[in-house]
Amino acid sequence: MRVKATIWAGFATALVLAVITALAYQSITRIFETNQREMLDHIVDEVRIQLSEIGRLVTTEAQLIAALPEIPGMISSCDRDRLLELLRDGYDIQHRHFGISVEQLNRIDGSVLLRLHNPSFFGDNVADTGEMVVTAHTTGEAQSGVEIGTSGLRVRGVAPVTDAGKIVGSIEFGIDMAPLLTALKAHTNADYAVLVDDRLFRSLATRAKIEDDDNFKVFNGLRIDSTTDLPLISKLAQFANLSIAKDRRYGEVEVDNVLYGSVTVPLVDYSGKAIGTIFAARSFEADQHQMRRNLVQMISMVAAGTVLMVAIILIVFNGMVLRPVTQLAGVARAWAEGKDAALPTGVSGPVADLVASLRALKARDDTVRREPVP
């Protein structure tokens, strides 16, 4: 009986552990998936925040230069040499320390008067492609957003320049996407890539480097404009089925036995047109290891608790049931062999009822034995 009870207890313990393990795994997996989605949503929020902050930065820079008293007269008189002399040192400092890659002065008709980042190239008209410049000239209000210019994709800010209350032109500042991605990686521990429509880029970024080399990979018509880790992003892009995103998309990609959670968000320019996508991927290897550790710890604690509980039950069961029943079996066997044996005392519950029944049976048997045989 003890052997059977132990076997059944072991079977019950294994069953309980299996059920608890399955429930624990499901629970931890759900928590992991929820945390993963929250991390990816946080990445999207950070992208928006960084874009907004950079937009404010370049707009403020443009407004500060536009407010210089010498600027309106120089733009009105098309004095490129004096503008270059006045602004060149400031642009060099901003370029080195703040990542400013575009500083451009435009006339009211949209023609470019001076590019500090490329002084030898001027005179072209941006009225057809530079919607921010046109809007700033029309409304008299500073504008900011993402736009592809002749030098490439930039976060741009444009401020109108006024002379005696009349708009005479504008000044434009821009930062490319690389500093944005660097800041994002520092905040989120994820890797990023900005991908832009290759045909659109080729048609607008006429002064940008567009050679088809390893630094300008194209996936499904999307050109990598900037990235935090080109080799990794190139591997991930092969499995992520990248395209111009119209809404947020989530996914999982495994590269070199490492699981990456990914999110793709639309890259929308100043006009509201989707011109590409921002792709972000975060390794969840450490999170998976933590999940496994949590699962092992939980199962270990549950197993220890279950085994302890079963052991206590067996001890109690043995003390209250098995031992008295075994003693009663021994007494009954002795009586059957005609030997004298005492019933156990100090028992309770059903075992006490069984002892009372055996005592009554023994008394009746003794009475029958004492009666004379007729």
pLDDT per residue, tens digit, the chain (374 aa), is: 455 655 665 666 667 666 666 666 666 566 666 677 888 888 889 999 999 999 999 999 999 999 999 999 999 999 999 999 999 999 999 999 888 999 999 999 999 999 999 999 999 998 887 899 999 999 999 999 999 999 899 999 999 999 988 999 999 999 999 988 998 999 888 999 999 999 999 999 888 776 555 556 888 889 999 999 988 888 888 777 778 867 888 888 888 888 888 899 999 999 999 999 999 998 877 665 555 666 666 666 766 766 676 666 666 656 555 666 666 666 667 666 666 666 666 566 666 666 676 666 666 666 655 555 45
Contact 88, 116 (CB under 8 A): yes
pLDDT score at 246: 78
pLDDT score at 9: 57
Q: What is the DSSP string of 85-100?
A: HHHHHHHHHHHHHH-E
- Secondary structure class of 65 (helix, strand, coil): helix
- Whole-number Å distance between alpha carbons of 227 and 237: 12
Q: Give the helix/strand (H/E) hosting 230.
A: helix 230-240
- Report DSSP state, residue 120: T
Domain boundary assignment for the chain: 26-283, 289-370
- Report DSSP state, residue 125: B
Distances (CA, A) of 145 to 29, 69, 130, 217, 250: 40, 26, 11, 25, 25
pLDDT score at 160: 97
pLDDT score at 130: 82
pLDDT score at 211: 58
- Whole-number Å distance between alpha carbons of 107 and 74: 11
Contacts of 261 (CB under 8 A, 6+ apart): 36, 39, 40, 250, 251, 252, 281, 282, 284
- Architecture of the domain defined by 26-283: 2-Layer Sandwich (3.30)
